[in-house]
Amino acid sequence: MVVPFSQLPDLSRIWIYPSNRKFSAPEITQLQSDIDQFLSDWTAHGASLSAGYCIPHQQFIVLALNESDQQATGCSIDKSVHFIQSLEQSLSVTLLDKMNVHYIKGDVIEVIDLKTFKKMVKSKQILPSSTVFNHLVTTKIDFVNHWETTADQSWHSRFF
């Protein structure tokens, strides 16, 4: 069952799928249709899941699940990963590469690999005050409050 992201409880579990590029307007329209369809059909052991999503900055897909209604199972999580893989293929994007770092430079979201991120920290091109995206947050409330944050307030801080 699709629930508007804003109406999901704060402790809803989330999964963040960062794209290596921004989505175009037609791609956003297609994503919304595809995600709505997937979430409408998403189940765990035959039970419907109450889930929602958002597409912040036209570059990230965030799926959220109200686990107080029904918890995700290994099979239901596998289904979501297969769905995301199908989106990668249909859109020719990367959504599952956890070694990419997303940060804001000016008004643009930059995507670099972790090795490059470390080099940029060392050369002071990225500072503790630089805005980064912490894709390790796991609840909606943490997503809202700590996903887009400064590097010194995220797991990125270990590189300073």
- Residue 82 identity (one-letter amino acid): H
pLDDT (0 to 100) of residue 69: 82
Residue showing tokens 């209604």: 69
Structural contact between residues 64 and 8, judged by C-beta atoms closer than 8 angstroms: yes
pLDDT band for position 47 (cuts 50, 70, 90): confident
Q: Are 8 and 50 in contact (CB under 8 A)?
A: yes
Of 3, 18, 11, 4, give the one whose Cα is nearest residue 144: 11
| Model pLDDT for residues 110-127, shown as the tens digit of each residue | 999 999 999 999 999 999
With a cut of 90, say whether residue 98 has pLDDT above it: no
Averaged pLDDT of the chain: 96
3-state secondary structure the chain: CECCHHHCCCCCEEEEEECCCCCCHHHHHHHHHHHHHHHHHCEECCEECCEEEECHHHCEEEEEECCCCCCCCHHHHHHHHHHHHHHHHHHCCCCCCCCEEEEEECCEEEEEEHHHHHHHHHCCCCCCCCEEECCCCCEHHHHHHHCEEEHHHCHHHHHC
User: Is the predicted pLDDT of residue 16 greater than 90, yes or no?
Assistant: yes
Output the pLDDT for position 144. Answer: 97
| Average pLDDT over every residue of 25-45 | 96
Across 23-33, average pLDDT: 98
Q: Is the pLDDT of residue 15 over 90?
A: yes
Q: Which residue has the higher pLDDT, 98 or 31?
A: 31
pTM, two decimal places: 0.95
